[in-house]
Amino acid sequence: MRSILNMRVIAFASFIALTTTPAALAHGNCSWSNLQGTFGFTLTGTRATGTNPGQRAAVGQLTADGNGNLAGSETQSNNGIIVQGVTETGTYVVNEDCSGTATLTLKGNGVDTTTRHFTFQILNNSQELIAIVTDQGFTETIDFKQSS
């Protein structure tokens, strides 16, 4: 009986050791410097408010400088209307738990200059982020993958 219990404890401990990643162990050690480099991204969702409500999608890249500043560009599909050359500038804050917030200002032909707010989570040793737009009337999520 005791040997079966010991084997179960060893098996459970082994499972935990093999499935716990270094990033999970380091949870709670993030700062601005964890978010730096260039990230490719896809955005999908809907907008219920504004001048052009409906389905949304975008692809682009965004660069974080490790000091709280963002810059990038994207191509959008706004309810089927394609808008290219949209530029983005903004700022971000990273919390110790690797979550954060960002504010971006978007400008471009066919796009009203607008400011968007996001909440994000840093994943996979800072190689990926997932985010959601937190502005009222928006249901949009974004997946970022580091490209450099």
Residue at 103: amino acid letter: T
Q: Which amino acid is at 111?
A: V
- C-alpha distance across the termini of the chain, in Å: 54
CA distances from 121 to 52, 92, 125, 129 (A): 28, 12, 11, 6
**pLDDT for the residue numbered 100:** 97
Domain 28-146 part of CATH 2.40.50.100: no
pLDDT at position 133: 97
* pLDDT confidence of residue 148: 65
Q: What is the pLDDT of residue 140?
A: 96
Check residue 4 and give its pLDDT. Answer: 42
Q: What is the mean pLDDT of each run of 10 residues along the chain (148 residues)?
A: 42 36 54 93 92 91 96 94 94 96 91 87 95 96 92
User: Which is nearest to 144 in space by CA: 108, 120, 125?
Assistant: 120
At 145 the pLDDT is 97
- pLDDT at position 1, please? 47
Which pLDDT does position 41 carry in this prediction? 98
Which of 66, 83, 64, 86 has the alpha carbon at shortest distance from 131?
Answer: 64
Please, which residues have CB within 8 angstroms of residue 56's CB and are 6 or more apart in sequence?
43, 44, 45, 46, 47, 76, 77, 78, 79, 140
pLDDT at residue 21, as a whole number:
38
Dihedral of CA 27/33/39/45: which sign?
A: positive
